[in-house]
Amino acid sequence: MKILIDMNLSPQWGPALEGHGHSCIHWSEIGVPGATDRAIMEWAQQNGYVILTHDLDFGAMLASSQATGPSVIQIRTQDVLPAALEPLLTRVLKEFETMIEAGALIVVDEGKARARILPLGR
Whether 91 has a pLDDT exceeding 90, the answer reads: yes
Whether 6 is in a domain gets the answer yes
Task: Tell me the average pLDDT across 87-100.
Answer: 96
Please report, for residues 20, 41, 117, the alpha-carbon distance to residue 15 in angstroms, rounded to integers and kept in the order given.
9, 22, 28
**pTM for the model:** 0.96
Number of domains the chain is built from: 1
Whether 47 is in a domain gets the answer yes
What band does 121 get if pLDDT is binned at 50, 70 and 90? Answer: confident
Task: Tell me the average pLDDT across 78-82.
Answer: 94
Whether 122 is in a domain gets the answer no
Whether 31 is in a domain gets the answer yes
Q: What is the CATH number of the domain that holds 57?
A: 3.40.50
Whether 30 is in a domain gets the answer yes
What band does 110 get if pLDDT is binned at 50, 70 and 90? Answer: confident
Average pLDDT, the chain: 95
Whether 26 is in a domain gets the answer yes
DSSP E strand boundaries for the chain: 2-5, 23-26, 50-53, 72-75, 104-109, 112-117
Domain range for 40 is 2-117
Report percent pLDDT > 70 for the chain. 99
Whether 31 has a pLDDT exceeding 90, the answer reads: yes
Whether 77 is in a domain gets the answer yes
* SS3 state at 109: strand
Task: Tell me the average pLDDT across 104-120.
Answer: 94
CA distance 110 to 105: 17
